[in-house]
A and B are shown apart, each in its own frame.
Chain A
């Protein structure tokens, strides 16, 4: 090993970074693809860099979990020890940094290119910006480990963590999206926030954290009007505490006397727990509580209502059913004769590992001196946050909030029914019902329980990550509420890849679907078409145009032309499709820019189209192209071959296996299954322009057949299609 080279600083150049937003040559999901030049590190695999292994694993001990190609824990470390190249290490470091930043990812790959020292590194990310940042950071960390220079990992992780918090879906939304993924329902983020589209086109639903597109705006308005909510609930037999709105401390006390102490005071417009004081019995307490509620409620009215003894619960209703319940607890500290209450809280409550300030911490850290509610609670015991209670004295810190103890399994059916009814009365499809109950496992009639609030867009954390008890599959419940059993939010999607007439095939397929009575969206190099209208005449064989089609709520079926260039540069616009058409696998000079240099490499690009065919779907493959034929086993669904030659051996074998094929025979296009001719479409019926290109027509016919469009309709569609977009709206 030449000493001089070892002494110069190693470097890695990131040549270009692409975010592949859909299925791509690497995997089904979005990845960052980086082209990196590792320079002379090409000559220094990991095992040749002294101390590098130790430095890297000291920085990132979590790498032990990376299985890598070995498929076992420690697999990647083994590769490191045996010797692997910087690009591969970069991939794992980037993944590990993402994990440390709170974004779970696992997939990565590194491949050499035709240029020595230049690699393509791909790794999974959940957000482009976070992925790019992780890559930059990984590069710096890797070089620091190679060159034995310091690296401030905590600072780097914190930056990434903030980025992930900012950019990625919030925990409740992510939980619902995960549940959708479980059911193979695709999702698309519509904003930087938590507005997510589930499914495609007309089958889509929208969610915004725990709101759905069925969540009525009026119902939300009702829920925010506590008085109206209570009167509606009471009329329907749901128990609620009697109460009254007041606007000054004196009338608060008068109301308290009318209602009968003990009472609760809370701001009219307040939100969960803020400005709420419980179990008030004296004029002084009511007055103090009024001032707190008035301040926290920003000057809206204050509610005085009957205090119901018991524990606060949060019951989550989805659709017609209660799906999860959590209970709250009283929080106490015990004096030690030395610490004040702030300190005792830190020592006895905030040490709980579940408490934190982040969004994903199940419980909040408490700061008595900064919480008006706690100050008031303490004042009623004659204390302040700086009081030092004598050793052994128990001090009540908080009565409500922290509803994070899962009790779903214990809920009495009558209580679940009351919660569901409350949601229904208000009109919410998803609601958090706050109930005070003595015992959630006993019938509602047997205790003094009551609904104290109905919340729209409830937080799900208490149920997903309870402080104690079993996490509840509330995301699944929400998805089941939005999508009936068996529905996956998908519409028929046809993708066409190849160099032979693929735009025309896409248009023809769109037309045939249109003839069958569906609203079709089409994105191809000859434009963007929606609902029988060309809305963009430019080349629309790209990811953005595809998205436009898929987010359209009236689209019942979608057709896309997916050139290899698009798959390489952007990824497919959809995650899975019903029909994938491959006309041919032919290398083109334009692919050189992606370091794709021959037909064989082109095959790996084009196969993406077949990889994403759903198990219920169909690959339509040109049997006259041997590489297309080779893709048949890659398809999860069935295969329809088409060929100009009815006697072609692949066709014959396929038909013998009972499968479908479209062939050209006696100047007709013939739809055949096993030994049967399903339909014959004479070419003579078609316009000369189409008749001159039977293979193009066959590909479209096969795709339409795959979508179960009847042969008569296919025939009619072929006869009426005009290639001039002005004459045919597809």
Chain B
């Protein structure tokens, strides 16, 4: 068995809505059915007993090794705790070759699972050992490593539940929510609005205290001291007991609490001096440690935190007691569980020493022994949810503290006897405020209820009803999609939006080209969706990207399918028939958001049949309103767009809107049929996005199909009284549409310039000239250096062959080089004649034509 072309489908794809690893698996003759491999399944089950039942797919009773690989790869991930359920294996046309698709929740884990699955299968084949436990633990470890941490994960989950799209910006915890100009960013419990200055203030304990005191938030009185004597003086000013700690220290290093006398204070000063030069003396506030989480202007959760402790039983030593506590299954070693194992390290030993104990001491029954001074979950402490107990005054102080420092998400540390009463009554106070607080103690406290803090954070990012999405229109089809994309973008622009657009020419944001080349794949689409200046996106979605990587978005608002023609790239990537192509192009229709609209060509049966696959509603378009699909759809009260009496008509139920075609210049007053189709689909898309009709009409009126708008899309020039049309059409359907348009333009003589793209099927190249031969008097065939893998003369020969039975063509030229071909056709042009140039090197050829036109 050989696994090749492993790809990550990072968005909705041909197979499913899930992210998945796709690979091509070539089996040997025998591997086509594992039943023929003696003892294979038994050996495999010995190695991976949890493997699901091997069901044959469909009516084929043979289970291929590829299918087994698929199930093992999925099963391994599932056993490692990944939430995955989807996998699939389909045969390709090539013998013994399958496409295997396995869902993943983390790409790296998915890839690793496939590798391990291959190992497992091979070990079962060859009867060699396979260490399942090691494999699962490797997957688990990798998963914990790469997946989002619990705080970030909770926020992302909350966002996903609100339908907000997200993408990770780094391998760490930086995440982008939403798209374009609506995007927001977070990094764990820190949001993009979190001010760097506020974070710096929170780091400065003295300044924080001053600010909080200004706001009437109780804080422990205290001051920085210059030396030991000054420390004693300060202690007397403040009143004993006091705390001595390094200024700007962390993790409780060098801190001595509950100092009641001079000797003790001087010793504490010496200890603190080992860590920092500047020392702080503060009033000691006894009581419990509480963490209050403020999000926006609300207290959303509170927890009482306790340092790790063990309780003596009069028999066991402290280290034995710790071991016993650590056996609690809730205590994990990372950040994923509600408790963490107690660490028996130097800090713990130091803490014991300060209580006059050691690891070997045997505490009496019921004696509580602390293993740390601070109550962090990550060092074995515990957290008890007390959200419902917080006195409103205490909540108000916490909110005031956060507001004063300027933190929109803030962990406020309070020390007080009870959270049930105002701090002022018990001498409690705020000891610290924390930016980017950990959320685990609120999400999954050791005791008590978990709190929806992720939801709270998401609601500060996105107001109720907002989901961070911008209107996204996906367009696919064989012909007309580039013009459609441009026209829809133009209509959105007319609506005052900054539009991001991808198509086969490049990526455009607000009119600026930010990338060139074929940009109809997911990478370009993603770059539009993450661009901060984009209010709406119109994305040409070509098949290649969908096959390679899936879609760049989870849902779109509008999916437009212009048509599914023959001859367009058939034969690549196991897509061999128009039906299969339709299935591929259908992916965008399947991923229309609920409430969105699929705009479908009713006249193309392959497209029309996609209607039943969408979650959204459907707008059909076709020239003929009596087309059965149109008529039925309309009769059911659904939206349709058609042409009637020189008007483009949008109709739904009793609603009708008419736009005269002569106010839509791109159709040449209705003369160019395929442009009318493009206009119909674009109007349907704009209608679906609820644009004003006046905006749509204004947009249509100002859309000129000149060079600036769409190079190589039926660009019209007047040259010495002759009409010159340049177009990038390169398949039989496009030819037919062009011929139809040309035939409506009166001309005394018609010339066409054409070459063929080498990567098409022979019949498709030939068919182009077959169509042209019936409409043009003169044909200029040319060949350029770029032959896409064909030998010199091969393409021209095919084109020539297509002209064999031409009904109209009288003259044929064969030219080397595109410019020369253009010159050959254009130089003799006279008034009243027509010349169609099917450009190849679009940019250069268009410039050449434009220069000739300008020269006159």
- Hey, which bits of chain A sit against chain B, CB under 8 A? 190-191, 195, 206-208, 211-222, 225, 228, 232, 235-237, 421, 424-425, 427, 456-457, 528, 530-531, 533, 535, 547-549, 551-554
Q: Which of B137-145, B183-191, B722-730 contacts A (4 or more CB under 8 A)?
A: B183-191
**8 Å CB contacts to A: which residues of B145-183?**
169-170, 174
Task: Report yes or no: A553 in contact with B406, Cβ–Cβ below 8 A.
Answer: yes
29 A-B pairs whose Cβ atoms sit less than 8 Å apart in the complex: A191-B204, A207-B197, A208-B196, A211-B196, A212-B195, A213-B197, A216-B185, A217-B196, A218-B185, A220-B196, A222-B169, A222-B174, A228-B174, A232-B530, A235-B526, A235-B527, A235-B530, A237-B513, A237-B527, A237-B531, A424-B532, A427-B185, A531-B400, A533-B216, A535-B216, A552-B214, A552-B215, A553-B404, A554-B403
With A531-B216, A554-B403 known as contacts, the answer to whether A236 contacts B514 (CB < 8 A) is yes
Considering only CB atoms, which chain B residue lies closest to A545 in the complex? Answer: B214
In addition to A218-B191, A232-B530, 10 A-B residue pairs with Cβ atoms within 8 Å of each other are A191-B207, A215-B196, A215-B197, A216-B194, A216-B196, A219-B192, A235-B527, A236-B527, A421-B532, A531-B400
Tell which of A211, A225, A228, A236 has the most Cβ of chain B within 10 Å: A236
Task: Report yes or no: B509 in contact with A236, Cβ–Cβ below 8 A.
Answer: yes
Q: How large is the interface on B (under 10, 10 to 19, 20 to 34, 35 or more residues)?
A: 35 or more
Interface string of B192-207 (1 = CB under 8 A from A): 1111111111001001
With A191-B207, A195-B197, A236-B509 known as contacts, the answer to whether A213 contacts B406 (CB < 8 A) is yes
> Closest Cβ of chain A: how far from B698's Cβ, in Å?
27
Nearest 4 interchain pairs by C-beta: A237-B514, A535-B216, A548-B214, A235-B527
> Closest Cβ of chain B: how far from A597's Cβ, in Å?
36
With A190-B207, A553-B406 known as contacts, the answer to whether A217 contacts B531 (CB < 8 A) is no
Interface string of B772-810 (1 = CB under 8 A from A): 000000000000000000000000000000000000000
Task: Report yes or no: A218 in contact with B190, Cβ–Cβ below 8 A.
Answer: yes
Task: Report yes or no: B204 in contact with A236, Cβ–Cβ below 8 A.
Answer: no
Contact of B404 among A214, A232, A456, A552 (CB under 8 A): A552
Considering only CB atoms, which chain B residue lies closest to A536 in the complex? Answer: B216
Interface string of B494-515 (1 = CB under 8 A from A): 0000000000000101001111
Task: Report yes or no: B195 in contact with A217, Cβ–Cβ below 8 A.
Answer: yes
Does B533 count as interface, using CB distance less than 8 angstroms?
yes
- Tell me which residues across on chain B come within 8 A of A215, comparing CB atoms: 195-197
- Tell me which residues across on chain A come within 8 A of B272, comparing CB atoms: none
A686 vs B200: C-alpha distance when bound (angstroms): 50
Does B213 count as interface, using CB distance less than 8 angstroms?
yes
With A236-B527, A548-B214, A554-B400 known as contacts, the answer to whether A216 contacts B532 (CB < 8 A) is no
Considering only CB atoms, which chain A residue lies closest to B529 in the complex? Answer: A235
Does B649 count as interface, using CB distance less than 8 angstroms?
no
- Tell me which residues across on chain A come within 8 A of B514, comparing CB atoms: 236-237
Task: Report yes or no: B170 in contact with A212, Cβ–Cβ below 8 A.
Answer: no
Does B211 count as interface, using CB distance less than 8 angstroms?
yes
> Closest Cβ of chain B: how far from A526's Cβ, in Å?
16
Task: Report yes or no: B187 in contact with A221, Cβ–Cβ below 8 A.
Answer: yes
> Closest Cβ of chain A: how far from B706's Cβ, in Å?
21
- Tell me which residues across on chain B come within 8 A of A427, comparing CB atoms: 185, 192, 532
With A235-B531, A237-B515 known as contacts, the answer to whether A218 contacts B192 (CB < 8 A) is yes
- Tell me which residues across on chain A come within 8 A of B542, comparing CB atoms: none
> Closest Cβ of chain A: how far from B553's Cβ, in Å?
15
Tell which of B185, B196, B532 has the most Cβ of chain A within 10 Å: B196
Interface string of B205-236 (1 = CB under 8 A from A): 00100010111100000000000000000000
Task: Report yes or no: B216 in contact with A551, Cβ–Cβ below 8 A.
Answer: no
A222 vs B176: C-alpha distance when bound (angstroms): 12
Task: Report yes or no: B216 in contact with A530, Cβ–Cβ below 8 A.
Answer: yes
Task: Report yes or no: B403 in contact with A553, Cβ–Cβ below 8 A.
Answer: yes
Does B588 count as interface, using CB distance less than 8 angstroms?
no
Considering only CB atoms, which chain B residue lies closest to A231 in the complex? Answer: B169
Task: Report yes or no: A237 in contact with B214, Cβ–Cβ below 8 A.
Answer: no
- Tell me which residues across on chain A come within 8 A of B530, comparing CB atoms: 232, 235-236
Task: Report yes or no: A236 in contact with B214, Cβ–Cβ below 8 A.
Answer: no
Considering only CB atoms, which chain B residue lies closest to A535 in the complex? Answer: B216
**8 Å CB contacts to A: which residues of B518-562?**
526-527, 530-533
- Tell me which residues across on chain B come within 8 A of A425, comparing CB atoms: 531-532
Task: Report yes or no: A551 in contact with B214, Cβ–Cβ below 8 A.
Answer: yes
- Tell me which residues across on chain B come within 8 A of A235, comparing CB atoms: 526-527, 530-531
Considering only CB atoms, which chain A residue lies closest to B170 in the complex? Answer: A228
A190 vs B169: C-alpha distance when bound (angstroms): 35
> Closest Cβ of chain B: how far from A240's Cβ, in Å?
12
Task: Report yes or no: B512 in contact with A237, Cβ–Cβ below 8 A.
Answer: yes
Contact of A217 among B207, B216, B435 (CB under 8 A): B435
- Tell me which residues across on chain B come within 8 A of A225, comparing CB atoms: 170
A191 vs B205: C-alpha distance when bound (angstroms): 12
A6 vs B526: C-alpha distance when bound (angstroms): 88
Task: Report yes or no: B532 in contact with A554, Cβ–Cβ below 8 A.
Answer: no
- Tell me which residues across on chain A come within 8 A of B190, comparing CB atoms: 217-218
Task: Report yes or no: A208 in contact with B191, Cβ–Cβ below 8 A.
Answer: no
Considering only CB atoms, which chain A residue lies closest to B176 in the complex? Answer: A232
- Tell me which residues across on chain B come within 8 A of A214, comparing CB atoms: 195
A195 vs B514: C-alpha distance when bound (angstroms): 39
With A232-B530, A548-B213 known as contacts, the answer to whether A206 contacts B512 (CB < 8 A) is no
A424 vs B534: C-alpha distance when bound (angstroms): 12
Task: Report yes or no: A217 in contact with B194, Cβ–Cβ below 8 A.
Answer: yes
Interface string of B329-367 (1 = CB under 8 A from A): 000000000000000000000000000000000000000
Task: Report yes or no: A221 in contact with B174, Cβ–Cβ below 8 A.
Answer: yes
> Closest Cβ of chain A: how far from B462's Cβ, in Å?
16
Considering only CB atoms, which chain A residue lies closest to B199 in the complex? Answer: A217
> Closest Cβ of chain A: how far from B720's Cβ, in Å?
33
Tell which of B194, B197, B507 has the most Cβ of chain A within 10 Å: B197
With A221-B174, A236-B514 known as contacts, the answer to whether A456 contacts B201 (CB < 8 A) is no
- Tell me which residues across on chain B come within 8 A of A531, comparing CB atoms: 216, 400
Task: Report yes or no: A216 in contact with B192, Cβ–Cβ below 8 A.
Answer: yes
A216 vs B170: C-alpha distance when bound (angstroms): 17
- Tell me which residues across on chain A come within 8 A of B513, comparing CB atoms: 237
With A208-B197, A228-B169, A530-B215 known as contacts, the answer to whether A424 contacts B533 (CB < 8 A) is yes
- Tell me which residues across on chain A come within 8 A of B509, comparing CB atoms: 236-237
A236 vs B507: C-alpha distance when bound (angstroms): 9
Task: Report yes or no: A236 in contact with B532, Cβ–Cβ below 8 A.
Answer: yes
Interface string of B685-696 (1 = CB under 8 A from A): 000000000000
A178 vs B509: C-alpha distance when bound (angstroms): 39
A424 vs B533: C-alpha distance when bound (angstroms): 9
- Tell me which residues across on chain A come within 8 A of B185, comparing CB atoms: 216, 218, 427
A78 vs B416: C-alpha distance when bound (angstroms): 68
Task: Report yes or no: B174 in contact with A218, Cβ–Cβ below 8 A.
Answer: yes
> Closest Cβ of chain B: how far from A614's Cβ, in Å?
24
- Tell me which residues across on chain A come within 8 A of B215, comparing CB atoms: 530, 552-554
- Tell me which residues across on chain B come within 8 A of A218, comparing CB atoms: 174, 185-187, 190-192, 194
> Closest Cβ of chain B: how far from A557's Cβ, in Å?
16
> Closest Cβ of chain A: how far from B477's Cβ, in Å?
26
- Tell me which residues across on chain A come within 8 A of B191, comparing CB atoms: 218
> Closest Cβ of chain B: how far from A449's Cβ, in Å?
15
- Tell me which residues across on chain A come within 8 A of B214, comparing CB atoms: 547-549, 551-552
- Tell me which residues across on chain B come within 8 A of A219, comparing CB atoms: 192, 196
A218 vs B169: C-alpha distance when bound (angstroms): 11
A456 vs B195: C-alpha distance when bound (angstroms): 12
- Tell me which residues across on chain A come within 8 A of B174, comparing CB atoms: 218, 221-222, 228
- Tell me which residues across on chain B come within 8 A of A551, comparing CB atoms: 211, 214
> Closest Cβ of chain A: how far from B468's Cβ, in Å?
15
> Closest Cβ of chain A: how far from B653's Cβ, in Å?
43
A456 vs B513: C-alpha distance when bound (angstroms): 27
Considering only CB atoms, which chain B residue lies closest to A554 in the complex? Answer: B403
Task: Report yes or no: B533 in contact with A421, Cβ–Cβ below 8 A.
Answer: yes
A158 vs B527: C-alpha distance when bound (angstroms): 56
- Tell me which residues across on chain B come within 8 A of A217, comparing CB atoms: 190, 194-196, 198-199, 435
Task: Report yes or no: A216 in contact with B169, Cβ–Cβ below 8 A.
Answer: no
Considering only CB atoms, which chain B residue lies closest to A427 in the complex? Answer: B192
- Tell me which residues across on chain A come within 8 A of B400, comparing CB atoms: 531, 554
